């Protein structure tokens, strides 16, 4: 047990996940590139091999290195998890958690607003393993219980949907699932452990794309799977069986990113609210999908379960032509056009929600904004100049 257990998250971010108590230590674990690890005796090798699934036990590079174990330990403490496994991307975290928690013949419920790759994996890969996928209304809450069958084993959801920003009733879903022994897997990338700790709300597995806020600089790609005791080993063994692992540099970048995560999240919280509030008062805007506003779906759940808001939100504009929308997006100078988010730079991207269990009824275009660390007044000036083009 870490001496930082129950310490404020800022202390964990600074003091955990690195060496302590040794003279002459580096502040940051070095970048460790290694495959073969040598042992003095065959007996020592065999002990390491028998313990190869344990975080902290060095055996072979693919199973982890001291630096990657530091990173797993840090995430465990941030999430209050029994165990954490790091993988090569956020998508790998989602897909391997799902693979590790399911088997042929299972029925899996997936929120209708999930990230596009989660949906593609479920439809194109998980379904081929004999798992039946059913999409459900992301705002179903505890009533999701009505969808459980005898063979339902997993609920996969996201808080919020990273394109359409509905905030689910995390506690209600977790409660219903626990009653039936169904495992809940939540993509918590948007909030990070700074603004929400889903395991403390009853969720079994929280996955993160560390390529977003955790790394925070739009460079390293990495994923995290933080688990309860019951879910940890089956998922970790699946990751090891598949052979996924993050690169040494990515481990280093994620550890470094985490040190400043709290500062960066607080900055995007403030800047995001400032830009979202300004946009809400514009005549071109129908709705701003930011949880601080009470018309954001699931606003009350956000208030109950989150302590802040990330800098990623959506805006529904009044209906316009495709050409005008393109002209607006292309003319923004402070906002880059590209996927992903959570880095230091502001981004803009039109989003087309894909729904099968519910419908998306907005008529006008939905555009997603990632607010970065530029001067907020300059971001607003840029938007003010471009909005009349819509
Ligand atoms: C909510 C969410 N989860 C997971 C991912 C995937 O993460 P990665 O790009 O690290 O694979 C993304 C975006 O890329 C995302 O928006």
Q: What is the mean pLDDT of residues 91-105?
A: 98
What pLDDT, on a 0 to 100 scale, did the predictor assign at position 6?
Answer: 76
Whole-structure pTM value: 0.97
In a domain? residue 223: no
Q: Positive or negative CA dihedral for 119, 122, 125, 128?
A: negative
Query: For 20-34, 48-62, 85-99, 212-226, which range has the lowest pLDDT when averaged over its residues?
Result: 20-34
In a domain? residue 324: yes
Residue 2 — very low, low, confident or very high, per pLDDT cuts 50/70/90? low
Total count of domains within the chain? 1
Establish whether the linkage from the previous residue to 160 is cis, with ω within 30° of 0: yes
Question: Ligand 1 centre from 128 Cα, in Å?
Answer: 22
Question: Above 90 in pLDDT, residue 3?
Answer: no
Q: What is the mean pLDDT of residues 5-22?
A: 90
Question: Above 60 in pLDDT, residue 120?
Answer: yes
Q: Are 325 and 369 in contact (CB under 8 A)?
A: no
CA trace torsion 74, 77, 83, 84 (10° rounding):
-40
CA trace torsion 244, 245, 246, 247 (10° rounding):
-110
State the SS3 of 23-63: CCCCCCCCCCCCCECCCCCHHHHHHHHHCCCCCCCCCEHHH
Q: Positive or negative CA dihedral for 34, 239, 93, 75?
A: negative
In a domain? residue 385: yes
**Which residues form the domain of 383?**
262-389
Q: Over the chain, what is the mean pLDDT?
A: 97
Question: Above 50 in pLDDT, residue 139?
Answer: yes
Q: What is the mean pLDDT of residues 364-373?
A: 98
Question: Ligand 1 centre from 44 Cα, in Å?
Answer: 39
Question: Above 80 in pLDDT, residue 191?
Answer: yes
In a domain? residue 359: yes
Please indicate whether residue 209, judged by its CB atom, sits closer than 6 Å to ligand 1: yes
Please indicate whether residue 218, judged by its CB atom, sits closer than 6 Å to ligand 1: no
Residue 1 — very low, low, confident or very high, per pLDDT cuts 50/70/90? very low
Q: Are 195 and 304 in contact (CB under 8 A)?
A: no
In a domain? residue 8: no
Catalytic annotation on 236?
no
Please tell me the distance from the alpha carbon of residue 367 to that of residue 361, in angstroms, as a whole number.
15
Catalytic annotation on 62?
yes
Question: Above 90 in pLDDT, residue 41?
Answer: yes
Question: Above 80 in pLDDT, residue 117?
Answer: yes
Q: Are 255 and 263 in contact (CB under 8 A)?
A: no
CATH number assigned to the domain comprising residue 329:
3.90.1150.10
What pLDDT, on a 0 to 100 scale, did the predictor assign at position 50?
Answer: 98
Residue 21 — very low, low, confident or very high, per pLDDT cuts 50/70/90? confident
Question: Ligand 1 centre from 281 Cα, in Å?
Answer: 30
In a domain? residue 285: yes
CB hemisphere CA count around 240 (13 angstroms): 19
3-state secondary structure of 345: coil
Using only the alpha carbons of the chain, give its radius of gyration.
21
- CA-proximal residue: ligand 1, atom 6 (nearest): 90
Residue 20 — very low, low, confident or very high, per pLDDT cuts 50/70/90? confident
Residue 4 — very low, low, confident or very high, per pLDDT cuts 50/70/90? confident
What pLDDT, on a 0 to 100 scale, did the predictor assign at position 125?
Answer: 98
* 87, two tokens: 């993988």
């Amino acid at each position: 047990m870490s001496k930082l257990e129950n310490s404020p998250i800022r202390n964990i971010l600074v003091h955990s996940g690195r060496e302590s108590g040794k003279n002459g230590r580096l502040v940051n674990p070095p970048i460790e590139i290694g495959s073969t690890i040598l042992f003095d005796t065959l007996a020592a090798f065999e002990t390491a091999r028998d313990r190869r699934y344990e975080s902290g036990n060095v055996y072979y590079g693919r199973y982890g290195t001291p630096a990657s174990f530091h990173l797993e330990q840090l995430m465990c403490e941030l999430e209050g998890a029994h165990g954490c496994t790091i993988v090569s991307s956020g998508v790998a975290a989602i897909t391997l958690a799902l693979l590790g928690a399911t088997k042929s013949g299972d029925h899996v419920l997936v929120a209708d607003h999930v990230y596009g790759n989660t949906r593609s994996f479920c439809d194109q890969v998980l379904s081929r393993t004999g798992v039946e996928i059913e999409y459900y209304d992301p705002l179903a809450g505890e009533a999701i219980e009505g969808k459980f069958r005898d063979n339902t084993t997993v609920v996969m959801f996201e808080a919020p949907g990273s394109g359409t920003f509905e905030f689910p009733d995390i506690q209600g879903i977790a409660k219903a699932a626990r009653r039936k022994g169904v495992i809940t897997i939540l993509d918590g990338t948007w909030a990070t452990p700074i603004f929400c700790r889903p395991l403390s709300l009853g969720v079994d597995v929280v996955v993160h794309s560390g390529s977003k806020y955790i790394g925070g600089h739009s460079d390293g790609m990495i994923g995290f799977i933080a688990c309860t005791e019951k879910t940890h080993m089956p998922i970790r063994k699946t990751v090891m069986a598949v052979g996924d692992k993050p690169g040494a540099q990515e481990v280093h970048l994620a550890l470094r990113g985490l040190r400043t995560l709290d500062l960066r999240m607080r900055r995007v919280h403030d800047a995001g609210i400032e830009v979202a509030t300004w946009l809400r008062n514009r005549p071109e805007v129908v709705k701003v999908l930011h949880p601080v506003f009470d018309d954001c779906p699931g606003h009350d759940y956000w208030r109950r379960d989150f302590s802040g808001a990330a800098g990623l939100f959506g805006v529904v504009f009044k209906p316009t032509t495709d050409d005008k929308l393109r002209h607006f997006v292309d003319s923004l100078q402070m906002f880059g056009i590209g996927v992903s988010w959570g880095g230091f730079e502001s981004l803009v991207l039109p989003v087309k929600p894909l729904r099968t269990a519910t419908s998306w009824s907005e008529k006008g275009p939905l555009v997603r904004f990632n607010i970065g660390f530029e001067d907020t007044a300059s971001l607003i000036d840029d938007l003010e100049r471009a909005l009349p083009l819509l």
